[in-house]
Structures are given as structure tokens and as C-alpha cells.
Amino acid sequence: MVNKLSVATEHYVHSTNAQQKLYKRTLLIILMSQIFGGAGLAAGITVGALLAKDMLGTESFAGLPATLFTLGSALSAFIVGQLSQRLGRRYGLSFGFIAGGIGAIGVIIAANINNIVLLFLALFVYGAGTSTNLQARYAGTDLANEKQRATATSIAMVATTFGAVAGPNLVTPMGEVAKALNMPALVGPFILAAVAYILAGLTLFVFLRPDPLLIAKAIAAEQYKQQSKIAETSTTTNSRVNRIGVFIGALVLVLSHVIMVAIMTMTPIHMQGHGNSLSAIGMVIGLHVAAMYLPSLGTGLLVDKVGRTFIVIASGFILAAAGLVAAFAPGDSLLWLTVALILLGLGWNFGLISGTAIIIDSTTIHSRAKTQGSVDVWVALGGSAGSLLSGIVVAYTSYAILGFIGMYLALLLVPVVVWTKYKSKSEFN
């Protein structure tokens, strides 16, 4: 078995044509898994806060579900990153998705027996699916060249759109399914999440062979060998890691995620408080998620062509506009809240793809998955803080104040990135 694997690896290492075929095949598998994964993550976004509100009887802790599953996503991001670095993307990503599915099952059980403790624990585990859905975007870049990286990331993101947009719009139908099973209506989306996440994990475990990260490592090792620098591999790798680039990429990812999660988390509560129906809420969140993922292919091409920094600045201004529109939008205005959430999703999309490209540019294949996992830990922790604080801000001030805070945070991103661009000796376009 070892010899066969070695022969297969050698085939990819020495054939550029085989590498490109595997690159395209990997993107196809990621596309398939992300469709399921997108449907899974939509459940917590759409009804997680509403479920907690019903079970806790207060809005003050409405941000707690998002806090818990983002904390869970932080832990799982680290675990998935470590597993991927050691064993390959296949094991890391399939573990994360299946764990998310198990968490969704736990939420279903908790809601049926009205157990708050189990609900919180299950939401924590459910978060594994969220972080894995994000980390899957890296798998398509392992065999991509420098001019394909942002585009490869965006292709994975586009696939998420199909499931993520369908998910919120299935809130009402899945609620009917749940009621037919004598369960609370808000459990319905988590039934969808359980099935979707587990299917995503099984898709990757069964079909992501050979593993793109392991092949990329073998190719890199062969290149060092051909250059007769085997003994210097460790030193060379460390010296090529651009710490400033990793920091800036992480800052872009964390800040854009905090702003997006904070405003998005409280929008369903804000809308429900102004008499909007569950279907209307699902439609707005569905369009928001579409804006998060659907523009990805165009964003990836822009990042590769016009540069990382330009798109980061655009992200800051779009997120600021989203916060401003959210702050001034009447609570019963479906149109203006939809505009705010679409801008919020688009700004996040720009930040995610440009920040991801900066991190990939700043690392090597020998440390990339581990670094990506570590960065996503901070992204998840930032989202956790944003979701928790958003509930407190809205409870003690207003949704408008939350929008203004998001606007100010977004504008802070612009001078920091511009300053770093011109002060740093490193270049990431």
C-alpha cells in the first residue's frame, strides 16, 4: 500500500498536467461539500438568537448563541488546522463538518427537552461547522499558483452560496417539518443543518483523494531537493514567512468578521421586534448570506488583478456604509434593512478574500495550514466577542448605536492597512 501511495504521489510531483487536473478536481470536491456546508451554517445565523430568546425569555442574551458557536468555531479552527497540517485537508475538514452536524443534533434534542445547558453545549459543538466551512476555502489554494490563489478561494466561497441562501429561506418549510415531528418550529433549520454538515463531511472524507495539501508538500520538498537545499529547508521556510503580512491579513479577517457578526446577529431580533414575520427575516438573512458568498468569483479576480490592499480599503468603506444604513433604517423598513445587510455581506466578502490572499502570500506550504487554523481562531474569537457585545449594546442602547459602532470600526481598518502598506518592506500588492 505504501509503495502504491508513493508511486501516485510521484506521478503528481513530476507532472504539471497531473497537478492541474488534481487542482481542478479538488475545486470540484470543495464545491460539492460547500453547498452542503452553506446550508448548515445558515441555521444558527437565522434562528439561533430567536431560539435562545424563546428558551431564556429575554433579549439581553440573544447574542449568546452566536457567541457560543463562534467560541466553538475558535476551538475547532485550531483543531482542524492542526489536523490538516499533520494529516491533510481530508481528515481535518471532514472531522470539523461531522462535529458540526453532531452539534446540530444536540440543539434539536436540547430544544425538545427544554434543557438550556445542553443547548449551550450543543451550540458550542455546532460551531465546528462554521469554522470548517471557512477553512475549506483554503483547500482549493494548495495547488494554486500565485495568480490563482484569490480566485481559488472565491470559487469555494461561491459554492457556499447555494446552500447558505437556500437555508434561511427554508426556515418556514423546515419549521413545518419540525412541527409535523412534534418539535418546536425553530428546531427545523437545525434538522437541515445536521443533515447538511454530515453530508459535507462525508463528501470530503470519501472523495478528497489524493489530499491536495499532502501533494503540495511533496511538490515543495521535491523543489528543495532539486535545488540541493534539503539541509536548509527549515531555515528557508522560516525566513520566507512574512509575519507582518500574516498580522495584516489576520487583522482584516478579524475586524471584518466582528463587524459583520455583530450587526447580523441582532438584525433578526430587531426585525421581529418591529413586527416582521419569520419569512421576512429569512428572506433578509438569505440575501445577506448571498451577498457574503455570491460575489466571491468576481472578488477573487479583482484581488488577483488590482491587488490586495485596494480591495481591503473597499471592504472598509462598504462595511462602514452598511453600519450607517443599518443605523438610520426604520425598524419596519424591509427595503433599507435588506440594503444594509447586503452591504454588510459584500464588505465581509471583500475583507475575507483579500485577507485570505494576504495570509496565503505570507506563508509557505510547510506551515500554511497551521497558520491558517491559528488565524481563524482569532477570527472566531472576534466574532464571538462581537455577537455577545451586540446583544448587550442593543439591550442597553439601540440597534442604531450598534450600526454606528460598526461604521467606526470599519473606518479604522483603512488607515491601518494603508499605513502598513507603505511602511512595510514586504509587498502583498
Phi and psi of 83, rounded to 5°? -60, -40
pLDDT: which is higher, 427 or 116 = 116
* Residue 231, H or E segment: none
- Please state, for a pLDDT cut of 70, what percent of the chain lies above it: 88
Taken in order 30, 27, 306, 374, the sign of the CA dihedral is: positive
Q: What are 296's three cell numbers? A: 466571491
Q: Cis link prior to 173 (omega < 30° from 0)? A: no
Say how many C-beta atoms besides its own lie within 10 A of residue 250's C-beta: 22
pLDDT tens-digit profile of 40-52?
876 666 677 778 7
Would you place residue 355 in the very low, low, confident or very high pLDDT band (cuts 50, 70, 90)? very high
Q: Cell match 442602547: residue?
A: 397
Distance from chain centroid for Cα 80: 13
Say how many C-beta atoms besides its own lie within 10 A of residue 28's C-beta: 13
CA distance 269 to 251: 28
CA distance 363 to 374: 13
Mean pLDDT of 193-201: 93
pLDDT tens-digit profile of 52-87?
778 777 665 666 776 787 788 888 989 998 999 889
pTM: 0.75
In CATH terms, the superfamily for domain 2-225+236-422 is MFS general substrate transporter like domains (1.20.1250.20)
Res 231: pLDDT: 47
Phi and psi of 319, rounded to 5°? -65, -40
pLDDT tens-digit profile of 373-402?
889 889 888 887 887 888 889 888 999 999
354: helix, strand or coil:
helix
Instruction: Give the closest residue to 30 by CA, choosing from 134, 183, 130.
Output: 134
For 274-307, where are the alpha helices, taking DSSP H only?
Answer: 278-293, 296-306
CA distance 41 to 160: 9
Q: Are 247 and 362 in contact (CB under 8 A)?
A: no
CA distance 10 to 5: 9
Instruction: Give the closest residue to 74 by CA, choosing from 298, 374, 313, 343.
Output: 374
**Largest CA-CA distance found in the chain, in angstroms, rounded:** 69
Distance from chain centroid for Cα 376: 9
> Residue 130 above 90 pLDDT?
no
Q: Are 365 and 216 in contact (CB under 8 A)?
A: yes
Q: Say what the alpha-carbon torsion angle 191, 197, 203, 206 is, to the nearest 10 degrees.
A: -100
- The full set of domain ranges for the chain reads 2-225+236-422
CA distance 173 to 278: 11
Would you place residue 7 in the very low, low, confident or very high pLDDT band (cuts 50, 70, 90)? low
